[in-house]
Amino acid sequence: MEYYTWVLTFHIVAFMSWMAMLFYLPRLFVYHVENIEKNEYVEIVKIQEYKIYKYIGMPAMWATILSGITMLTLNPYLLDFNTSPWMYAKLTALFFLIIYSFSLEKYRKKLENNSCKKSGKFFRMYNELPTMLSILIVGYVITKTFSLLFTLIIVLLFAYISYVIMKPKRETK
């Protein structure tokens, strides 16, 4: 346990770096699709998309995962479901965050070869997912509890936000 707090510190910093990519890359996708006719601009955005994913996001994701595994190895008590059900909720949210990360690479590649048909509105909505998952993860970790009510409130809040983002705007006369 001597090294646990140092690993935890590294884990938090790696998570923050990973989240920076998860928050910013979909925003770049918005700029990309909404300025598709500006070739020079899009080429610069493509470089930014590549670099933030490959040089920041993926290393930070793997650093987060490996430091998390190290912490669980140093403190296997955290995996006792009877005393730490919140850890399983956190790991479930983490699983979805990892899937989300890989989905960003799928969209990045489609944007890179100009085959993505998604709108800026879609990427604005898609950008809300890591926020929701990170709120759940941080909530579980800080409170060391799993609350179904907290989880449902956060999921419903973000479902509503996504609906508002995606709904068509009314025509004004």
**Ligand-binding site membership of 144 (annotated):** no
Name the nearest CA neighbour of 101 among 11, 12, 18.
18
90 marked as binding residue: yes
DSSP structure class, residue 167: S
Residues near 83 by beta carbon (within 8 Å), at least 6 away in sequence:
77
Q: What is the C-alpha to C-alpha distance for residues 39 and 14, in angstroms, rounded to an integer?
A: 34
Is the C-alpha dihedral spanning 90, 96, 100, 103 positive or negative? positive
Measure the CA angle with vertex 147, ends 60 and 14; round to 5°. Answer: 10
Token pair 């799928």 in the structure block, residue: 106
- Count, residues in the chain: 173
Say how far apart CA 29 and CA 145 lie, in whole Å: 35
Give the residue numbers of the binding site for heme. 11, 90
Give the residue numbers of the binding site. 11, 90
